[in-house]
Chain A
């Protein structure tokens, strides 16, 4: 019986090749999109699963409240470690203090490379369950030991055995390689942990770290933990929540709260607003999940519509089968097995599409997804997926077709009736509602990105590079290097700063000024800069003056930005002093000598933060900022700069970033989403149009006789075209009417997530409507005109 069903289904497919191609092709496309999205979603959801203990690992987070604003992040003070070790260790298996993941120079013999890594406590390899390839897992025991990832070791030592070799770190310390661990795969938070050095060593490297030993106010460290078995994160959080608050002197002011932030949330739910976890990337996972489901739905709708549209052709078959003894259930089985055949074929094509496009998708989405050939889970869910799709797509045609009464269909009087097309029309409206919504959504996302990209940054980011200078080697060499670079004629100006131009690394409080309101808890973005900072960035001074070597007092001067003027409630800030509010041991007061234009250093979607550019009088430089000579080509300039650099720092690899590229990176996440969304939108529209194309051809075929009669009576091609197109255009316009308010609602709430945002403009909606109507007309016209041009004599003779 089943064989017979498939035989019929197969012959049917072969007989109507165009129909089958549209049906299977459309479905395959829809499935391919769904599979790719599913792979992406799984990749996102299994982030960090490389670590066996991922359910138990967490970072200790701290929330502090300032002026009613709560800031949350993984920054904690050093004495917390001892507080936990002494009082709470039964709740933990491991606790691991760690530095931030920074790039350092590693040198062995003549090979010098830059790699990112952290200084961590001994338990790190056990906690992360790193796979040791050579050496020992307890490789951080000795103060001068270092563990390398396999690829770092390979870059440094090539084929030599790395164990026991001595690596020079930042041209300061010699460290002996004690272990090599397998590279941590791409979709993991520790992906860029390319070496691990002992924490013991880190705490001896500089004065401020040594001094932080018992300082509860220096939140410059990270603490990773693995909790004990049989206890939940929440319960552990409850025990450590107030450790700092109970000890620290400033707790009244800041209300510090500690809590565990589970590794499972790091990637997808890492946004905090006012101390509350508010999601994060998970919303993109949802977004794409929904898109995938919709695209599949569109493809299934095609299948349903095309099947039922062909019902008149198959009505006779149903009648005959019933009259020779088929029961309704047997017909349902027959149509479902046809559906299974089509879906099965579509799945095979879908897999082929996926294999072809996975590489491109990975580039677009910045992923390293491989096709899960060997995953039983994948194949099991694929089978489920096929069954589900076949049932979804096949159930309606099966129910509809099998309900025909044999007497009616066999008498030849069967006409699908005026209302038979209603469900079909509803489905078309649903399809185009989704498509129009996708178009509008994508256009608005792109508008928002472009709008933000065009936002004035406040300085000239083109032709600007920055060189990291965090290593000790650079200490005291700023003036020398500036002169050398200027002499080489590769640059026209240079400055140094404690943060990169596109970021803010420090925030300061603890200052008062004349007219500061009572109880105002100030908080400034704080960047320490050299004399030439504003000049090198082409940052405009809007009041007062720039730093100048002519004023000796400028070593204690600051510039503030326009937002800071408003923030501090000042009208004429120039000349005022920022005074240290620490009464016992006050620092020098800082005079405000000028106001600079606001420049975007953080998120381009947020307002600029109140900022202070303080003259760097303690050698806090982390970057050189170089304004390239515009009269020479960029490559020429870079060559000259590199030569000078190598001459003075032969042991340090020459590294630099273009500021405009760094700035552009801020848009990457949104841009990636936008480009993915536009690809999926395109496919959704294509699938909908395929369906429409198929439907039109059936309608045209169905109405062949009518068209023939009309033509004999004098209808022109235009009349017929109008008649056939009108029905569909009405449906699409109706879809737009439904889609517009829905997308308006959702896009408004999406845009509310951005402080700096584009206004929704009516023309986007108008454009989407016009586009969809045009696309519909194009799709429909092909068939409509073909039908209209056919010779009426032939179509009438057929009857």
Chain B
């Protein structure tokens, strides 16, 4: 098993009232799954994804990731795990505007302290794999949305994560670009990457092997 959520609660206090963002979430994810999280706006999809991605905390419950209990880990150790096993893809790509495509891809490797020749090789590999060798010296603003997201996915994958988290990865893309990205996800999943994506689109959800529906922070 890759990860397991047991009775996860997350809330905020607002005006004396407790508003639940996540309510009693239980979830098990096996290696190699491709899960789509669906639900209306404000149902807690992104929050759930952030909790799984260790970018956000929760108030109650247990979270096990690869036999480690995340809820008891120290901040530093958690960051270490995150860096090691998780890649994130965002709706609005979130590339670093000041860096070229190549440098953007290199960034996660720098944080993982790979040596320079190794980094070069891995970046070249990734550029090749995603067919963006010709764009390696361009800055994000010089690319189309689809191309930017391609770089975003490449960046998430470059350090071989076990889990790829995608928060509405096609939300800003047109249907053709969107299809390309989903095909790419499918292919990655076939190669063994576990994927959890948040999406509004039924057709996108159909690429996955399992669908989780949320409403007001609860699984339905």
The answer on a CB contact under 8 Å between A12 and B98 is yes
Give the residue of B82, B94, B97, B99 whose beta carbon is less than 8 angstroms from that of A325: B82
The answer on a CB contact under 8 Å between B110 and A316 is no
Give the residue of A8, A324, A405 whose beta carbon is less than 8 angstroms from that of B98: A8
Which residues of B are found within 8 Å of A326, using beta-carbon distances? 111
Which residues of A are found within 8 Å of B50, using beta-carbon distances? 407
The answer on a CB contact under 8 Å between A325 and B159 is yes
Judge if B155 is at the interface, Cβ distance under 8 Å: yes
Given contacts A15-B98, A325-B82, contact A406 B111 (CB under 8 A): no
Give the residue of A11, A316, A328 whose beta carbon is less than 8 angstroms from that of B94: A316
Judge if A327 is at the interface, Cβ distance under 8 Å: yes
The answer on a CB contact under 8 Å between A406 and B55 is yes
Judge if B122 is at the interface, Cβ distance under 8 Å: no
User: CA A328 – CA B75 in complex, angstroms?
Assistant: 10
User: CA A330 – CA B109 in complex, angstroms?
Assistant: 13
The answer on a CB contact under 8 Å between A324 and B55 is no
The answer on a CB contact under 8 Å between A324 and B108 is yes
Mask, A302-332, CB within 8 Å of B = 1, is: 0000000000000011011111111110100
The answer on a CB contact under 8 Å between A324 and B79 is no
Residue of A nearest to B46 (CB): A411
Least CB distance, B152 to chain A, in whole angstroms: 10
The answer on a CB contact under 8 Å between A324 and B99 is no
The answer on a CB contact under 8 Å between B56 and A320 is no
The answer on a CB contact under 8 Å between B107 and A321 is yes
Which residues of B are found within 8 Å of A11, using beta-carbon distances? 98
Mask, A1-36, CB within 8 Å of B = 1, is: 100100110011001000000000000000000000
The answer on a CB contact under 8 Å between B79 and A320 is no
User: CA A320 – CA B55 in complex, angstroms?
Assistant: 11
Least CB distance, A469 to chain B, in whole angstroms: 79
The answer on a CB contact under 8 Å between A327 and B55 is no
The answer on a CB contact under 8 Å between B111 and A317 is no
Mask, B135-159, CB within 8 Å of A = 1, is: 0000000000000000000011001
The answer on a CB contact under 8 Å between B110 and A4 is yes
Give the residue of A317, A323, A411 whose beta carbon is less than 8 angstroms from that of B88: A323
Judge if A738 is at the interface, Cβ distance under 8 Å: no
Judge if A410 is at the interface, Cβ distance under 8 Å: yes
User: CA A442 – CA B76 in complex, angstroms?
Assistant: 53
Which residues of B are found within 8 Å of A410, using beta-carbon distances? 90, 94
Least CB distance, A415 to chain B, in whole angstroms: 17
Mask, B86-109, CB within 8 Å of A = 1, is: 001010101111110001001110
Give the residue of A4, A319, A325, A412 whose beta carbon is less than 8 angstroms from that of B83: A325
What range describes how many residues of A lie at the interface?
20 to 34
Give the residue of B79, B97, B103 whose beta carbon is less than 8 angstroms from that of A327: B79
User: CA A778 – CA B199 in complex, angstroms?
Assistant: 52
Which residues of A are found within 8 Å of B96, using beta-carbon distances? 8, 317, 320-321
Mask, A56-92, CB within 8 Å of B = 1, is: 0000000000000000000000000000000000000
The answer on a CB contact under 8 Å between B56 and A407 is yes
User: CA A316 – CA B82 in complex, angstroms?
Assistant: 19
The answer on a CB contact under 8 Å between B56 and A324 is no
Which residues of B are found within 8 Å of A330, using beta-carbon distances? 111
Residue of A nearest to B83 (CB): A325
User: CA A15 – CA B139 in complex, angstroms?
Assistant: 13
The answer on a CB contact under 8 Å between B76 and A324 is no
User: CA A457 – CA B11 in complex, angstroms?
Assistant: 83
The answer on a CB contact under 8 Å between A325 and B112 is yes
Least CB distance, A289 to chain B, in whole angstroms: 40
The answer on a CB contact under 8 Å between A327 and B111 is yes
The answer on a CB contact under 8 Å between A320 and B94 is yes
Mask, B157-169, CB within 8 Å of A = 1, is: 0010000000000
User: CA A749 – CA B156 in complex, angstroms?
Assistant: 67
Which residues of A are found within 8 Å of B113, using beta-carbon distances? 1
Least CB distance, B75 to chain A, in whole angstroms: 8
Given contacts A320-B96, A326-B111, contact A407 B155 (CB under 8 A): no
Which residues of A are found within 8 Å of B56, using beta-carbon distances? 407
Which residues of A are found within 8 Å of B94, using beta-carbon distances? 316, 319-320, 323, 410
The answer on a CB contact under 8 Å between A324 and B90 is no
Is chain A's interface secondary structure helix, strand, loop, or mixed overall?
helix
User: CA A511 – CA B106 in complex, angstroms?
Assistant: 96
Residue of B nearest to A329 (CB): B76
User: CA A324 – CA B82 in complex, angstroms?
Assistant: 9
Query: Among the interface residues B46, B88, B106, B156, which one has the most CB atoms of the partner chain A within 10 A?
Result: B88
Which residues of A are found within 8 Å of B76, using beta-carbon distances? 327
Which residues of B are found within 8 Å of A8, using beta-carbon distances? 96, 98-99
User: CA A8 – CA B92 in complex, angstroms?
Assistant: 21
User: CA A410 – CA B156 in complex, angstroms?
Assistant: 16
User: CA A330 – CA B99 in complex, angstroms?
Assistant: 17
Least CB distance, B72 to chain A, in whole angstroms: 19
Which residues of A are found within 8 Å of B97, using beta-carbon distances? 317
Least CB distance, B88 to chain A, in whole angstroms: 5
The answer on a CB contact under 8 Å between A325 and B98 is no
Given contacts A320-B94, A410-B90, contact A325 B108 (CB under 8 A): yes
Mask, A401-432, CB within 8 Å of B = 1, is: 00001110011100000000000000000000
Residue of B nearest to A10 (CB): B98
Least CB distance, B172 to chain A, in whole angstroms: 12
User: CA A324 – CA B108 in complex, angstroms?
Assistant: 6
User: CA A406 – CA B108 in complex, angstroms?
Assistant: 15
Least CB distance, B55 to chain A, in whole angstroms: 5
Least CB distance, B144 to chain A, in whole angstroms: 19
Which residues of A are found within 8 Å of B108, using beta-carbon distances? 324-325
User: CA A751 – CA B55 in complex, angstroms?
Assistant: 62
Mask, B105-143, CB within 8 Å of A = 1, is: 011101111000000000000000000000000000000
Which residues of A are found within 8 Å of B79, using beta-carbon distances? 325, 327-328
Which residues of B are found within 8 Å of A405, using beta-carbon distances? 55
Which residues of B are found within 8 Å of A15, using beta-carbon distances? 98
Give the residue of A1, A12, A406, A407 whose beta carbon is less than 8 angstroms from that of B110: A1
User: CA A327 – CA B50 in complex, angstroms?
Assistant: 17
Given contacts A323-B94, A325-B83, A327-B76, contact A407 B55 (CB under 8 A): yes
Mask, A381-414, CB within 8 Å of B = 1, is: 0000000000000000000000001110011100
Within 8 A of A (CB), among B147-202: 155-156, 159
User: CA A196 – CA B110 in complex, angstroms?
Assistant: 72
Least CB distance, B58 to chain A, in whole angstroms: 12
Mask, B4-21, CB within 8 Å of A = 1, is: 000000000000000000
Which residues of A are found within 8 Å of B88, using beta-carbon distances? 323-324
User: CA A4 – CA B92 in complex, angstroms?
Assistant: 24
Which residues of B are found within 8 Å of A316, using beta-carbon distances? 94
Which residues of B are found within 8 Å of A325, using beta-carbon distances? 79, 82-83, 108, 111-112, 159
Least CB distance, B117 to chain A, in whole angstroms: 15
Give the residue of A4, A12, A323 whose beta carbon is less than 8 angstroms from that of B55: A323
Least CB distance, B154 to chain A, in whole angstroms: 12
Mask, A330-341, CB within 8 Å of B = 1, is: 100000000000
Within 8 A of A (CB), among B49-82: 50, 53, 55-56, 76, 79, 82
Which residues of A are found within 8 Å of B111, using beta-carbon distances? 321, 324-327, 330
Residue of A nearest to B90 (CB): A410
User: CA A11 – CA B106 in complex, angstroms?
Assistant: 17
Residue of A nearest to B159 (CB): A325
Residue of B nearest to A316 (CB): B94
Least CB distance, A34 to chain B, in whole angstroms: 32
User: CA A4 – CA B119 in complex, angstroms?
Assistant: 13
Least CB distance, B120 to chain A, in whole angstroms: 13
Further contacts, 11 of them, CB under 8 A, given A8-B99, A319-B94, A324-B111: A7-B103, A12-B98, A316-B94, A317-B98, A321-B96, A321-B111, A323-B55, A324-B108, A325-B112, A407-B56, A410-B90
Q: Name 5 A/B residue pairs within 8 A (Cβ), A-sorted.
A: A15-B98, A317-B96, A323-B55, A324-B107, A325-B112
On A, residues with C-beta under 8 Å from B are 1, 4, 7-8, 11-12, 15, 316-317, 319-328, 330, 405-407, 410-412
Q: Which 4 A-B pairs have the closest CB atoms?
A: A325-B83, A325-B111, A324-B108, A11-B98
